[in-house]
Amino acid sequence: MSVTRELARYVVESRAEDIPADVRREARRAVVNIVGCMLGGAPEAGTGIAAGVFAPLSGPGTAGIVGRRERMDIARAALINGITSHYHDFDDTLPKNYIHASPPVAAALLAYASALPVSGADVLHAFILGFEVTSRIGNATYPAHYDAGWHSTGTCGVFGAAAAIGKLAGLSVDEMVGAFGLAATQASGIREMFGSMAKPFHAGHAARNGYESALLAKAGFTSGPRALEGPRGFAHVLAAARDLSKVTDRLGAAYDLRHNTYKPFPCGIVNHPAIDAAIQLHDEHAIDHAAIRAVRLEVAPLVIDLCGKTAISTGLEGKFSVVHGAAVGLVRGRAGLAEYTDDAVADPAVKRVRELAVRESDPAIGEDGVHLVVELADGTRLEKRLEHSLGNLERPLSDAQLSAKFTDQALRVLSTDAAERALAMAWTVDDLPNVADLVAATVPA
């Protein structure tokens, strides 16, 4: 059986009761995290621009949008949810393939479930399957696909969104194969867009296109049956090297959700060790930032490759600047959403420290590690070496930390009471008779 068909059959035949309890638990954590991220991204400028463009084009407003008052058709709501979910780069990350797997899947699912009565148990099950489809296609093509310049959150996420919606819509195996074909031929998103609104847009178009792929396939719109493994299929065309056995290896037994991580800081994950170390130094030594004379960051080469920006002027660019992360950590002792605004990037104190920071690429340092050295005016030399940063698999965010992260973001658009109510619903999503209630709970009054 072809890889594409085997994956399709798994999605179609999976039963909720087959999913292990620990995977369901991790799925709930992922839902709490991603709904929080959508709330954090909902009031942003780029979200407003996209909503303004798509609202007049939207069909009847059957679907709600997390954190916003507009109602749109499901496809456009999925698109907006996708943009918000990835807007702050605050979403979940799979360290093994650098994919943010929840955004496209959850964006499509919440739009769909806001329009049609779907139970939380079904949504959580579909989410788990969509997440797994995304990550496994990522594993099979990593690192060649990502290294070439593809943003795999978008390119692999479209398959996950198609799988999740296809599951809820009751596609047959043939139809699911068809949906994967239509997803494959819409897979897109290049890393040249990093640092602009087009990056979160990738999660949006993956959600929208995945949803439409499932719908078209169910209606009988045909596609090539070998989307993943065909000689001109996704894996061969978009990855110089590939191992397709990873798509189906231990399907239904191994779950990548077990290896998902949640960010404490709203920026590229490779910046996190530097930020973590900077905050620790700030807190341990009560550093007065005016006294900082030199900052030296030793990081893995990938960090410079992904987040090497130095001359920056916008909050979005700041997300791709490891020196900005270190600067806000040292100056402010925190790196929340407020540290990734245009204002924060222009803050003279932050700017001064950012501009004197020197970054060195050191292949001996792991991608989750950092060596940070700070010199003060009085000659004091402070130093912090981390092997693992907060939020990674060795130091995962606790449920309480995830709740706090949710609330911080939710308060941008919701009252304290409303944020608390939405959080409680997100934690118990699989008990909800109708997930539309969760989406409704996130809409500002």
**Contacting positions for its own copies (CB under 8 A):** 45-46, 49-50, 52-53, 56-60, 73-76, 148-151, 154, 181-182, 184-198, 201-202, 205, 209, 212, 215-216, 219-224, 226-227, 230-234, 236-237, 316
Look at residues 228, 75, 230, 263 and name the one whose alpha carbon lies nearest to residue 155: 228
H helix or E strand, kind and range, residue 138? helix 120-141
Minimum CB separation of residue 72 from its own copies in Å reads 9
Cβ 81 vs Cβ 42: under 8 Å: no
Q: Which two tokens stand for residue 432?
A: 């909800």
Give the shortest CB-196-to-its own copies separation in angstroms. Answer: 4
Measured from the CB atom, the residue of 130 and 181 that comes closer to its own copies is 181
Say which DSSP state 396 is in: P
Residue 79 identity (one-letter amino acid): L
C-alpha–C-alpha distance, residues 370 and 326, integer Å: 11
Identify which of residues 72 and 353 has a Cβ nearer to its own copies in the complex: 72
CA distance linking residue 244 with residue 137, whole number of Å: 8
Q: Which lies closer to its own copies via its Cβ, residue 196 or residue 407? A: 196
Residue among 2 and 407 whose Cβ is closer to its own copies: 2
Question: Which residue number, 7 or 187, has a Cβ lying nearer to its own copies?
Answer: 187
Considering only CA atoms, give the Rg of the chain. Answer: 21
Is residue 234 a contact partner of residue 228, using CB atoms and an 8 Å limit? yes
Kindly tell me which of 36 and 181 has the beta carbon lying closer to its own copies. 181
**Closest approach of Cβ 190 to its own copies, in Å?**
5
The token duo for 257 is 């959700």
Residue whose token pair is 């308060």:
411
Nearest distance in Å: CB 87, its own copies? 12
CA distance 374 to 278: 9
Q: How far is the CB of 20 from its own copies (least distance, A)?
A: 34
Give the nearest distance from C-beta 266 to its own copies in angstroms: 18
C-beta of residue 256 within 8 angstroms of C-beta of residue 105 = no
Backbone angles phi, psi at 376, to 5 degrees: -100, 170
How far apart CA 421 and CA 222 sit, in angstroms, is 43
CA distance 436 to 423: 14
Which residue's CB is nearer to its own copies, number 216 or number 299?
216
Please identify, using beta-carbon distances, which residue of 131 and 150 lies nearer to its own copies: 150
Rounded least distance, CB 204 to its own copies, Å: 11
Amino acid (1-letter code) at residue 104: P
Task: For residue 150, give the 3-state DSSP assignment.
Answer: strand
**Closer residue to its own copies in complex, CB, 213/260:** 213
Q: How far is the CB of 319 from its own copies (least distance, A)?
A: 13
Minimum CB distance to its own copies, residue 152 (Å) = 12
Q: Are 345 and 261 in contact (CB under 8 A)?
A: no
Our CB check for its own copies shows the closer of 41 and 46 to be 46
d(CA 373, CA 299): 12
How far from 440 is each of 69, 87, 422, 437, 444, CA to CA, in Å? 9, 21, 9, 5, 9
